[in-house]
Amino acid sequence: MSESASWMHIGLHGHSVGTFTAESRGIRWKSALNTDDDDNVILSRFIPYKSVTGGQWTVFGRSGHLRIQTIKEDTENNISEFRFDGFPPTDFDNLRSTLSKLYTIDVQKLPIDSSGTSFGLTNISTNGHLMFRECILDEDEEEGEEFEPRDGDEMMSMNLSEVGQCVMQGNTRNEIELQFHESDTVEAGTDQLVSIRFYVPPDPDADATDKDSPTPAEIFQQRILTVANIKNTAGNEIVQFTEAQGTFLTPRGRYKITLYDSHLRMHGNRYDYKIKYDDISRLFLLPRPDDVHMAFVIALDKPIR
């Protein structure tokens, strides 16, 4: 009889809680949600044993978190890392032993910095994850030399494929905001992270009067836009409207509008928005007060930010 082990009430990142089962054929997660057949909700995930390449374990509060690394091209939806939470912290040895026997991997403990530091060092990995690490400043032995920063423990990491928008905040050119897609596959009332801001200090040696050279924040923004594929839209383009035709009151400004099979995209000078047709609840065509022009109103279930 092949060995297997199961854990109940285990959450999968971006989804609800369910049952985590490790068996000889692979790792299976099944949602505890009861949904109709018409609901577009992922109820299960399966990771073939050949795709499992490693694991990392971290304890947050009273919950153990497990990251499973996989071979990207062989996994469902090209996901290179699956994240599970809700394991009892005391189950590490049992979990590590089970995964080692089934998939010949060694689950390592991953130290996480939780000191509350609000600054650190960023890095974008080859698999599209933005890593935010503790910044440790070592004083140089020679007098007058600057502090030399080095990487500390991980503070947080995120998959940039989950970023829906990356914009500059205000007119300082030093602060960017990452806005995330809201998941439809979590239980009602579950809190979701919708945005996070980074302040990127300007280059002290740069010319403050030079407005044409990009700031470190703008360079960082362009890297995120490229890796997150925000400006690239898959699908068949149906029709496109110019900026002259796309004058909006909310959000205010002119936007070029492109309609695709399942969504539309608004392209502005500073912002790009992607709106799924499923998120559109109503459409209104209303007369303006001058009785000449008409206002086209698009009502959304999920507001754009």
What mean pLDDT do residues 30-59 have? 80
CB 201 within 8 A of CB 175: no
- For 35, the enclosing helix (H) or strand (E) is none
pLDDT tens digits, 62-84 = 899 999 999 865 444 456 889 99
Whole-angstrom distance, CA of residue 263 vs CA of residue 277:
5
DSSP string, 147-204: PEEEEEEEEEEEEGGGEEEEEE-TTSSSEEEEEEPPPSSSPTT-----EEEEE-PPPT
Which position has the higher pLDDT, 245 or 101? 101
Residue 104 scores a pLDDT above 90: yes
- DSSP structure class, residue 112: B
pLDDT tens digits, 198-235 = 999 988 888 877 878 889 998 998 888 888 876 654 46
Residue 181 scores a pLDDT above 70: yes
pLDDT of residue 76: 47
Cα–Cα–Cα angle for 152, 200, 150, nearest 5°? 20
pLDDT of residue 146: 64
pLDDT of residue 188: 65
The b-or-e profile of 113-130 (16+ CB within 10 A means b, else e) is beeeeeebeeebeeebbb
pLDDT tens digits, 238-249 = 898 988 887 888
Whole-angstrom distance, CA of residue 7 vs CA of residue 32:
12
Q: Determine what percent of the chain is predicted with pLDDT higher than 70.
A: 86
Residue 86 scores a pLDDT above 80: yes
Q: If DSSP codes are grouped into helix, strand and coil, which group holds residue 267?
A: strand
CB 193 within 8 A of CB 179: no
Whole-angstrom distance, CA of residue 16 vs CA of residue 33:
7
What does pLDDT average to over the chain?
83
- DSSP structure class, residue 222: H
- Is the Cα torsion angle 89, 116, 107, 72 positive or negative in sign? positive
pLDDT of residue 159: 87
Residue 110 scores a pLDDT above 70: yes
Q: At 89, phi and psi to the nearest 5? A: -55, -25
Residue in 262, 261, 264, 299 with CA at minimum distance from that of residue 281: 299
What mean pLDDT do residues 277-301 have? 90
Which position has the higher pLDDT, 5 or 143? 5
pLDDT band, residue 23 (cuts 50/70/90) = very high
